[in-house]
Structure 1
């Protein structure tokens, strides 16, 4: 087994010095053997890819190996959003998919995701099976057929059926960040009636010098454009368009927690059902749910756990504060195209800033932040064991009310604030999150979290 290849929270990502054609072929062979062992031999598999310069070539490598193993392969007509690949799996009854993408990472990275037959994120049973089957790729003439099909058209049509709203009179600035949302999300908004102003909607191997990650520091130009054009809303997608960010005229780039709360609150105007959120996502979700007599299901960080719980609980909405969300009736995969439409639909009825004002009046403000403490991967379990033996009775002067060990330790305090310490799934770090009623209180909790972790690292 190639020790460089390792599937983390959402597939394998690596710099191009390590992410090579040979290794992509090894992973593709692992996928082929895993699918064959699961009874999928001879079925059709999708191979998608993002807008990176290297992605189309790596996708061709993966397709060649899968075809050499007897699988028919469908490729998109061009780079496309990852959620379009997930939708194609379900719509076409495919055995699964390989997607070549490094999502929001810088251009010197690439990656590979596996998506199983249900279109949701791969669970450990899948990724462990792939890792166990890494080996020499099959060679020779392919016995499977490779062909190009339209992934984005059916995906957008499905999204518009789910969010059946007229956006007439709404002005939206759309920012593709030079990723695979270009020519997709903006077009979907325009087809629904919005006046769309486009930014960074050309393919650029360097992503304009900014990683395609929709964070406030990378979306300053979008916020300026919303102001310049007196727009109602700004929408951005990450590199493979499975994540979304929104910009409002008054507040600028919205925190991902606020996007979750706004979207769920809007859906509750016409529907009902549980919300699924990760342990790191705001407790305001719980307050909105309680106001509608709905349940909240808390899961570990990682969208695959959100997807599983959405299915188990027939949830109305599910997601995580990092910008990934889905809704009832959709493939259980985070989808930045669908969420762009949903945010626009909500804004077309009531301005998002006004919606936030109303929610703050009812439930208070959201203040959340996070930091990291360096921690070698081989020390993470020892750190968790050390924390388990040293959990405090109070944090930053407030008594501990409860502790949730779903993913690390989430310490909920008597005033409703909380502190979360968990191991990163992608870096040699312990993550420390905090939420409270003020920014000053969050800062105090993060300081306390670092002081709690440092002695046991």
Structure 2
């Protein structure tokens, strides 16, 4: 699997990224910033990382590349991606995060941030072109190690300060909240934040080995653990994140995970948002539930951010976005009571966690009651791992070749009412249920999303969709 840009950042095998690939891409990123007037030699480059075994070596290679390019690398340690981006935004510095997010430890990645936020698709194209141009330059791809001034404490302190007063006083006082810590870079920060609002935090499942947690397709093993912890510890909720803490995981008092798009919707209500941008994979009931303009995009934070920026350009205020994985992005500042929450146009996991807990506690309701009150269609999703990119490309080409092929593929599931090809194939069946097939942009995975009127119907449709994908042969 060659390293490539996908929905958010560069991804590839760890064995590739520990070498010249990371050096080349960091060099190209910095040259792109200089060419576009976003940075200059002598400026800082912030470098953060997750807890994957390969991340420290890739970070050291990246810092050496930064030094060769004339930049001053700053070692920010293992910190949440949104915390790194927020610190970079606050001091006007570019940053990179060494992380593969939720994917297994044999893979890794790099997320790139200009001083004003995430790179966009045009920036990605410029970096790819520069990588090709620099490939013959031995210095650009030189594998060396370097370090820099450590600012982990400053990054964490600023992020803690961002959220210390978001909720009223001790609103979580007396509530037992489980924290599935695993190998999340936010596992200690979240203890401080939740305890600051009076919660009794119960640490769960801390691991010194990297555990990939996908908040959009929660594994059966993780679901079983959540349910067991909820019953044994009598918890109000269980919260967690993916590896780099830009995606939240929130489970109710029964250990049942709330979908990420539901968390995004709750956050929009908490913030009193006036415009929402979210991908086509988010629940189709959001528009009716929120009653404000909703802009649908392709999957990936760059597309959501572009839609938010367009809304700002049109003069809209209180603009936010979220993805089906629960990561929330703020395009504008939000004022809540006397608190100003500064814009942070990159995925964040802390805001949706606090919004869901704060709303439930404030209303004296359980999270399961909050979820039921939204009255959204039942939406489920899962993925097939180790699904070769060539195989998924062949399948999608087959399904897009004509209505007859698509109809034959879906025949056992129902007749087609309409379809969308915005990002993958999203099909509405004759009973108004939805099935959506989408290959991962940068990992050998195939995802299936479904919606239906009941839990049993949705679960059956998801199982059938995954079986169709698993049995496909070109």
Please report the TM-score for the alignment, with normalisation by the length of structure 2. Answer: 0.81
Counterpart check, 1:20 vs 2:18: yes
Q: What CA distance in whole angstroms lies between the structure 2 residues aligned with 1:410 and 1:139?
A: 41
Q: Tell me the SS of whatever aligns to 1:17.
A: helix
**CA contact under 8 A between 1:421 and 1:432: conserved in structure 2?**
yes
Q: Tell me the SS of whatever aligns to 1:179.
A: coil
Correspondence list, 1:302-381, <5 A = 302-313=300-311, 314=317, 316-327=319-330, 329=333, 330-349=343-362, 350-360=365-375, 365-370=377-382, 376=390, 379=394
Q: Tell me the SS of whatever aligns to 1:126.
A: helix
Q: CA deviation at 1:232?
A: 1.0
Q: What CA distance in whole angstroms lies between the structure 2 residues aligned with 1:105 and 1:148?
A: 27
Q: What CA distance in whole angstroms lies between the structure 1 residues aligned with 2:383 and 2:402?
A: 17
Counterpart check, 1:419 vs 2:435: yes
Q: Tell me the SS of whatever aligns to 2:345.
A: coil
Q: Cα RMSD between the aligned structures? A: 3.4
What runs of 5+ residues in structure 2 fail to find an aligned partner?
312-316, 334-342
Q: Tell me the SS of whatever aligns to 2:78.
A: coil
- 1:88-121 CA-to-partner distances (Å, cap 9, x unmatched) read 1211112x2211112222333322121233323x
Q: Tell me the SS of whatever aligns to 1:18.
A: helix
Q: CA deviation at 1:13?
A: 2.7
Q: Tell me the SS of whatever aligns to 2:15.
A: coil
Aligned to 2:246: 242
Counterpart check, 1:382 vs 2:414: no
- 1:335-357 CA-to-partner distances (Å, cap 9, x unmatched) read 12232222221232232122123
Distance 1:161 1:70, change over 3 A: farther
Greater shift after overlay, 226-235 or 4-13?
Answer: 4-13
- 1:49-86 CA-to-partner distances (Å, cap 9, x unmatched) read 1122332232122112112211223221x310111111
Q: Tell me the SS of whatever aligns to 2:272.
A: coil
Aligned to 1:277: 278
Q: Tell me the SS of whatever aligns to 1:246.
A: strand
Q: Tell me the SS of whatever aligns to 1:252.
A: coil
Q: What CA distance in whole angstroms lies between the structure 1 residues aligned with 2:16 and 2:275?
A: 42
Aligned to 2:91: 92
**CA contact under 8 A between 1:419 and 1:432: conserved in structure 2?**
yes
Q: CA deviation at 1:317?
A: 4.0
Q: What CA distance in whole angstroms lies between the structure 2 residues aligned with 1:33 and 1:366?
A: 47
**CA contact under 8 A between 1:371 and 1:446: conserved in structure 2?**
no
Correspondence list, 1:403-414, <5 A = 403-413=419-429
**CA contact under 8 A between 1:178 and 1:239: conserved in structure 2?**
yes
Counterpart check, 1:123 vs 2:120: yes
**CA contact under 8 A between 2:264 and 2:322: conserved in structure 1?**
yes
Aligned to 1:50: 50
Distance 1:103 1:424, change over 3 A: closer
Q: What CA distance in whole angstroms lies between the structure 1 residues aligned with 2:164 and 2:192?
A: 11
Q: CA deviation at 1:257?
A: 3.8
Q: What CA distance in whole angstroms lies between the structure 2 residues aligned with 1:155 and 1:101?
A: 19
**CA contact under 8 A between 2:261 and 2:324: conserved in structure 1?**
yes
- 1:209-264 CA-to-partner distances (Å, cap 9, x unmatched) read x4344424225334323332222111011111111111111352223343334433
**CA contact under 8 A between 1:420 and 1:432: conserved in structure 2?**
yes
Q: Tell me the SS of whatever aligns to 1:48.
A: strand
Q: CA deviation at 1:367?
A: 3.7
Distance 1:311 1:227, change over 3 A: farther
Aligned to 1:177: 182
Aligned to 1:71: 71
Q: Tell me the SS of whatever aligns to 1:133.
A: helix
Aligned to 1:107: 105
Distance 1:147 1:159, change over 3 A: same
Q: What CA distance in whole angstroms lies between the structure 2 residues aligned with 1:435 and 1:137?
A: 51
Q: What CA distance in whole angstroms lies between the structure 2 residues aligned with 1:117 and 1:316?
A: 20
Correspondence list, 1:250-289, <5 A = 250=254, 252-264=256-268, 266-267=269-270, 271-289=272-290
Q: What CA distance in whole angstroms lies between the structure 2 residues aligned with 1:378 and 1:172?
A: 43
**CA contact under 8 A between 2:11 and 2:443: conserved in structure 1?**
no
Greater shift after overlay, 125-134 or 80-89?
Answer: 125-134
Aligned to 2:338: none
Correspondence list, 1:389-404, <5 A = 400-404=416-420
Distance 1:11 1:320, change over 3 A: same
Q: Tell me the SS of whatever aligns to 1:294.
A: coil
Please report the TM-score for the alignment, with normalisation by the length of structure 1. Answer: 0.83
Distance 1:444 1:83, change over 3 A: closer
